[in-house]
Amino acid sequence: MCGIFAYTGKKGKNASGVLLKGLLSLEYRGYDSAGIYLPERGSVKTPGAVAELRKKIPKDFKGKSGIAHLRWATHGEPTEKNAHPHADCEGEVWVVHNGIIENFRELKEKLGQRGHKFKSDSDTEVIAHLVEEHLTTGIGFEKAALAALNDIRGTYGIALQYKKEPDRIIAARMGSPIVLGLGAGEHFIASDPSPILPHTRKVVFLEDGEVAVITPEKHRIFKLDATDVKRKATKIDWSAEEAQKGGYEHFMLKEIMEGPEVIENTLRGRLIPAKGLAKLGGLEGVTKQLEKIERIIIVACGTAYYAGLVGEYMLEEHAGIPVEVELGSEFRYRKPVVNERTAVLAISQSGETLDTLEAVREGKRRGALTLGIVNAVGSTIARETDAGVYNHAGPEIGVASTKAFISQLTALALLTLFLGRQRGMTAQEGKKIAKELQALPAKLAKLLERKEGIASLARKYSDSRDFLFLGRRYNLPVAFEGALKLKEVSYIHAEGCGAGEMKHGPIAMIDEKFPTMAIATKDSMYEKLISNIHEIKARKGHVIAVATEGDKEIAKLVDDVMYVPETLEMLSPILNVVPLQLFAYYFAKGKGLNVDRPRNLAKSVTVE
């Protein structure tokens, strides 16, 4: 995944300053290298992130338009020569790109035979040379760009600029997100709305196979076959300030602390507590189809996949629907048994996760009803699914997902209530779930007041190089997620394990230097977790327990305890995961690591 940003305007703004500020808000998408091009001044590129780029830019590097890029390396090492923007032979056609050009080797060979000289190892560079090649026929910049786009195969979000037409910038999308920002006398192109929002909230999302041309005065959209597209602008309902740290040292901590508000926003207008019902407007158009569904397949990747595993327990126990959870990256490489009585439910924070998107498309091809739980309004999964539920969690900037996971679990609980009441869940049970959902924000706020104690605990275990996370039933996915968070931000070995599987192998790792994080709240699996803890202690292993408030007995057995408020078992993951998120944050912070930008990771994986 990479971040692209482009600007053209006549307001007297310095395009260089606009682009640099925009890149800062896109750094979660990649930070291996960065670059900028202004037709009036040329290009500046560097390994590293925006701070390194800013150091290299001269004071007189100014212009009215330009394109900029942050790279997350796929083809070619993260060096200056591989940094975007890339140019043609003459330095007149420039391109920034997010995605992978699958046929770049054959195109590069053909262009080389035509005399083109390549300066990088990047697949992106072939795009600039293709446009250059088509320009030699005299067809003009727009037609040359369109011809080049029809030559390439793969995924892309692209912005192209031609030195001889500096006010005009061309964008294109195929599998990687592109959004246009519509201002007064200025227009923008970006990978997502965040760099656009300080300037305008009016945006247009491109669909796959669409091309856009922007000038300071207007924009135009058309398809790869040159047919025009008419689409109204969307107004983004969150501000640029929401994407800032708000006084916190890191986005990750800020986003964990936003948990109570996130639950409230996900629930807002969707609960009818007096009747024990959930009202999901995004599903109203497919209510009759949902009544006929006999099976749900949840597709997701990473943290969203673990949310799906919790949803599987929720939906099967309380809505009575058989559920399978599939990795989005594997789903289409099997021959899934899917028909019109199957619903494929995609979970994705960004709504742009390529593997999950392709799983949705595969489900649609096989006749399934497709649904989404997505945070990003107007994203591809949100548009391509038949119906769905928005998280309303606001922008999540930290690469390691925290508040989005909380919101996904809350949305899955709402979906369970919605479908459960369709399928025999009693009003009494519905009221019980709804009442407890309403109580969660206050309970989570109380839990977050204990963050300093968790910080102290992280310092105590700071020399540990390995961790085992144990959970069962609803909290097995929480164990997986807790281990993932610690791996993502601190780079140490951690693994999640079903407590019932511990004796089938993982217990061999336990000794006095291999601590265990046991999720042992008072639920249907409590006694079994206690037995597991005894087994670990007998082997001199240290144990940190996530336990229910008031459980004094567990404190006598384990080394340390992180207490959480009591709630329904089906909702317990929403609270139980938060101490694990905080522990991972403080553990990594204590090591001096950049928790918002873990090495080798990007926020949204939009290439396979």
Distance separating alpha carbons of residues 80 and 97, to the nearest angstrom: 16
Distance separating alpha carbons of residues 330 and 353, to the nearest angstrom: 13
Alpha helices in 333-426 (DSSP H): 354-365, 380-384, 403-422
DSSP string, 67-132: EEEEE--SSS-SSTTTSSPEE-TTS-EEEEEEEEETTHHHHHHHHHHTT-----S-TTHHHHHHHH
95: CB partners within 8 A, 6+ apart:
67, 84, 85, 86, 87, 124, 125, 127, 128, 131, 158, 159, 160, 161
Distance separating alpha carbons of residues 163 and 224, to the nearest angstrom: 23
Q: Give the up-direction half-sphere exposure of residue 304: CA atoms within 13 A in the CB hemisphere.
A: 29
Distance separating alpha carbons of residues 43 and 38, to the nearest angstrom: 6
With contact defined as beta carbons under 8 Å apart, do 585 and 598 qualify? no
With contact defined as beta carbons under 8 Å apart, do 209 and 174 qualify? yes
With contact defined as beta carbons under 8 Å apart, do 121 and 77 qualify? yes
- Contacts of 333-336 with C-beta under 8 Å, sequence gap 24+, read 336/297, 336/362, 336/363, 336/366
With contact defined as beta carbons under 8 Å apart, do 65 and 76 qualify? no
Distance separating alpha carbons of residues 148 and 126, to the nearest angstrom: 9
With contact defined as beta carbons under 8 Å apart, do 597 and 488 qualify? no
With contact defined as beta carbons under 8 Å apart, do 162 and 92 qualify? yes
Judged by phi (left if over 0) then psi (alpha if -120 to 50, else beta), residue 163 lies in alpha
With contact defined as beta carbons under 8 Å apart, do 154 and 101 qualify? yes
- 2 has catalytic annotation: yes
- 487 has catalytic annotation: no
Q: Give the up-direction half-sphere exposure of residue 85: CA atoms within 13 A in the CB hemisphere.
A: 29
With contact defined as beta carbons under 8 Å apart, do 416 and 314 qualify? yes
Of 443, 485, 589, 603, which one is the catalytic site residue? Answer: 603
Of 2, 254, 443, 451, which one is the catalytic site residue? Answer: 2
| Extended beta strands in 184-322, E state | 186-190, 202-205, 210-214, 219-223, 228-229, 234-235, 271-272, 277-278, 295-300
Question: Helix, strand, or coil here: 603?
Answer: coil
**Residues catalogued as catalytic:** 2, 603
